[in-house]
Amino acid sequence: MSARRLRMLAAALALAGSVTLAALPAAGSGGNGPGAVGWPTYGFDLQRTGYNPTETVLGSANAGSLRLRWTAALGDVMIAQAVEAESVYIPGRGTKNVVYEGTEHGDFYALDAATGQVLWQKNLGSEQTSCEDMPDGVFGVGGAAVVDRTTAAGVVYVAGGDGAVHALSLASGQEQPGWPVRNVFDPRQEHVYGGLNERAGKLYVTVASHCDFVPYHGRVSEIDIATRTVQASFYPATPDVDGGGVWGPGGASIDPATGHVFAATGNALTDPEYYFHSNSVVELDASLNLVGANYPGLTGVDVDFGATPILYRPAGCPTTQVAAKNKSGVLVVYDEGALDAGYTQRLQMADVNDYQFNGIPAWDPVTNMLYVSNSSDSSAGTYFHGLVALHAGADCQLSLAWQQTVGPNSTSVSPPTVANGVVYYGDGFGNTERAFDAATGAQLWSSGSTIGGGVYAAPTVVDGMLLVPAWDGKLYAFAPSGAGSPPTVSSFSPASGPVGTAVDIRGTGFTGATRVTFNGVADPGFVVNSATDISAHVPAGATTGRIAVTTPSGTGTSASSFTVTGGGGGAPTITSFSPVSGHAGTRVTITGTNFTGATSVKLGATPAPFAVSSSTVIVATAPSARTGAYRWSVTTPSGTAVSRRFFYLF
């Protein structure tokens, strides 16, 4: 039976009850620049791929030099992946990249990504239980938050230990008007283990329990952000039968093109345990109506899903794939939209009686590989504990590419994360994070004895840093050797002027500067006069906003805005986009000018979901349309821009 959930060695842990910070060098904020996407949600994207396509600082060339930059003692265990928002203006402190993380004691923190300093902290409630899945039986914030930058100030949504979903200011932690949404779940019996997911004004929340203690009713719930109400719920075991928990750390995954929601469900507390849609992989529409489901027929001591399905599309494969780990040690793979037809591939990757084969793989579209952190040696042979890379063929089938047998055998392990040619994962009670070359499997780095507790949460790779939550109550930040402190912008003169105005920028750490921007628009002709002085000019297309200076050690942003006068801005233009081809759901970065206030992005005549990262960058998602060549268009109140080149949708 499924009385065990995490079972992550809930042995005695000595944890500090208050926040303390290690006196360590500051970490650089990376090289993605102002307006970059950060790490907004569990697994980076709606599909929960665990892949960061924007990381450029930390990669295979320097991952071997990773060293500890700071630690933040947050007071209790963490199973949530840390998320990050870039360029958040903190009144009185300037613009910072901010990391958000919660603990099972209900504390939710905003930390300066450069130093680990606590910027603000809120307690969102916790519940004392007799469930030993947590070391002291206390359950609070278990699921990763989601960052929403669609408003000017920005909001972070998170499920508390009080049964509510909160909307907090990125800058101050202040609860937003009309929030929280209360009674989303009953914290006395239920818990949110999975990260929240957000699409098209809806939040999706997954609910399970404490150790399968009854009464509880597992479910996926949809919250309408505008009305702050729970609009729909899907109960795998029906609302009348206990069980059917949704335990996966990524919560529900979402196809950005169709809005379909995917979840892997736990056992019903009845006979059979797969009653209704329990112990199944399910596909729901955006309103949580059932599209398809499959119980794959399972044997073992604990056969429910403690997992989140991952959505990925191999090169040449005609359909999006849905893959999920099951506690019986099997990985099952389906075609999206055809779950009722059953799985297309089933791999016995861990021991059939290993109830710890849970979590979620990671997908890298560059290597065309699916990375699986494996909790035990397979009872069928071939696969061993550690990290396994599976190559996806044009026929959509997975085959072994490489594997590294490391860490303890038979333990819960962290989901992997992949970025810039490197895949990372934590080995559970081995207390070690490792980095491997994503293509070859060569081990590049190990944290050694640095981490003092179990590593079960997925790592975050963003802005040249590796963030690792651990069960010693600390959040660890690693950065490559040689990354110094990021620059600071203390002042500039004059404070306003039209395009072409000469601007003197003062601050620190300017040596080696690679980029100067005015509200995200780069000045191609800036001159570094000294470590504390830069001469720049307001570039064409710039609009009113903050000045930022980027060096190999990170980005520094002014506390105040430079005001562009005399016609800065104007109609948008599209200069490029990347990638130049893809399928529905592909994230496309569109570069140009005057994107601020964009009201529409289309691929051909089809509207596309999008987010304005800055006045020069939009991140759009290719919509569902017929195979063919289409131009991108961006519309603002000042006009519409159409790309010269075609995007090929396949």
Cβ–Cβ under 8 Å, residues 523 and 34: no
d(CA 186, CA 209): 9
d(CA 22, CA 222): 40
DSSP letter (8 states) at residue 373 = E
Among residues 272, 256, 274, which one has the least CA distance to residue 264? Answer: 274
**Domain boundary, last residue among 480, 504, 530:** 480
Among residues 15, 307, 75, 39, which one has the least CA distance to residue 147? Answer: 39
Among residues 326, 332, 384, which one has the least CA distance to residue 357? Answer: 326
Among residues 105, 135, 115, 116, which one has the least CA distance to residue 13? Answer: 135
Greatest Cα pair distance in the chain: 76
CATH assignment at residue 62 = 2.140.10.10
Cβ–Cβ under 8 Å, residues 648 and 629: yes
Residue 12 within any structural domain of the chain: no
Q: Are residues 234 and 265 in the same domain?
A: yes
pLDDT along the chain (650 residues), means of 10: 38 34 29 54 98 92 94 96 91 87 98 94 97 94 95 89 97 96 97 97 97 95 97 97 97 96 97 96 98 95 94 96 97 98 97 94 97 96 96 97 96 96 96 98 97 97 95 96 81 90 91 84 87 90 87 81 73 86 89 85 93 87 87 85 85
Residue 57 within any structural domain of the chain: yes
Q: Are residues 154 and 253 in the same domain?
A: yes
Cα-based torsion angle of the residue sequence 625, 626, 632, 633 in order, rounded to the nearest 10 degrees: -60
d(CA 310, CA 333): 10
Residue 254 within any structural domain of the chain: yes
Dihedral of alpha carbons 228, 231, 232, 233, sign: positive
Q: Are residues 536 and 619 in the same domain?
A: no
276: left (phi over 0), alpha (psi -120 to 50) or beta: left
Q: Are residues 613 and 526 in the same domain?
A: no
Cis peptide before 579 (omega within 30 of 0): yes
Q: Are residues 459 and 550 in the same domain?
A: no
Q: Are residues 332 and 300 in the same domain?
A: yes
Cβ–Cβ under 8 Å, residues 579 and 591: no
Q: Are residues 511 and 637 in the same domain?
A: no
Cβ neighbours of residue 227 under 8 Å, at least 6 residues apart?
none
Question: Which domain range does residue 368 map to?
Answer: 20-480
Q: Reading across the β-sheet that carries 369-374, which strands appear in turn?
A: 362-364, 369-374, 386-392, 398-404
Among residues 174, 145, 147, which one has the least CA distance to residue 160? Answer: 145
C-alpha distances in angstroms, 298 versus 198, 268, 325, 497? Answer: 31, 14, 12, 68
Q: Are residues 551 and 407 in the same domain?
A: no
Cβ–Cβ under 8 Å, residues 112 and 96: yes
Q: Are residues 195 and 248 in the same domain?
A: yes
Q: Are residues 417 and 296 in the same domain?
A: yes
Residue 4 within any structural domain of the chain: no
**Domain boundary, last residue among 546, 564, 582:** 564
Count of domains for the chain: 3
Residue 7 within any structural domain of the chain: no
Residue 236 within any structural domain of the chain: yes
d(CA 497, CA 346): 63
Q: Are residues 333 and 261 in the same domain?
A: yes
Residue 3 within any structural domain of the chain: no
**pTM for the full model?**
0.77
DSSP letter (8 states) at residue 607 = E
Q: Are residues 446 and 582 in the same domain?
A: no
CATH assignment at residue 598 = 2.60.40.10
How deeply is 426 buried, as exposed, middle or buried, from its count of CB atoms within 10 A (0-12, 13-18, 19+)? Answer: buried
**Domain boundary, last residue among 513, 529, 564:** 564
Residue 14 within any structural domain of the chain: no
Q: In degrees, to the nearest 5, what angle opens at C-alpha 582 toward C-alphas 577 and 588?
A: 35
